[in-house]
A = this chain, B = another copy of it.
Amino acid sequence: MLEKQDEHILVQLQKEGRTTNQQLAEDVGMSTSACWRRVRALEEAGVITGYSALVNREQAGFATSAILHVSLERHDAKFVDEFVSRVTERAEVLECFATTGDADYHLRVVVRDMKAYNAFLDEFMFRLPGIRYVRTNVILKEIKTSVALPF
């Protein structure tokens, strides 16, 4: 179970992933060594899975993104596993969730432009075996994209 101090550390590191250990220790009210040890423990326990730079999608040249609703014809392990592994290895698919509701899966896909999105559908999605349907919901505007859990 996470202690109050751990949560405090996680809140800070989600906000400022490259803050110095000194600053972090000050923020959470600990010595640098105690703080450093806790961070290490959180990393080793797999609570912190990594660190990432957050990059502005548009400035980086990725103008197009969409949310896809996908359903499979059949739900045998064979088809599901194939779908999962193929989708996981495609870098354009940032997120994929198995969900309740009409669609089996929700995917978020990011590409440079519509041409690339079309190619993604034609050359990848539509060729996956056992797909019932793929419905594209083009993202008109990103209202919010956060990676910070709501402690």
Nearest B residue (CB) for A148 = B52
CA distance A60 to B46 in the complex (A): 10
0/1 interface trace, chain A 112-151, chain B, CB 8 Å (1 if under): 0000000000000000000000011111111111111111
Nearest B residue (CB) for A65 = B97
Please tell me if the beta carbons of A84 and B51 are within 8 angstroms of each other in the complex. no
Nearest B residue (CB) for A67 = B106
0/1 interface trace, chain A 47-59, chain B, CB 8 Å (1 if under): 1111111111101
CA distance A143 to B98 in the complex (A): 7
Say how many copies of this protein the assembly contains. 2
- Knowing A10-B60, A59-B47, A143-B84 are in contact, say whether A138-B99 is a contact too (CB < 8 A): yes
What is the total number of residues of chain A having a CB less than 8 Å from a CB of chain B? Answer: 63
Identify the A interface with B (CB < 8 A): 2, 10, 13-18, 45-57, 59-62, 66-67, 84, 87-88, 91-101, 103, 105-106, 110-111, 135-151
30 pairs, CB–CB < 8 Å, chain A vs chain B: A2-B60, A10-B60, A17-B18, A17-B51, A17-B52, A18-B51, A47-B56, A48-B56, A51-B53, A52-B52, A67-B99, A84-B143, A91-B150, A93-B144, A94-B144, A94-B147, A94-B149, A95-B145, A95-B146, A97-B140, A97-B143, A98-B141, A98-B143, A100-B136, A100-B137, A100-B140, A101-B137, A110-B149, A110-B150, A111-B150
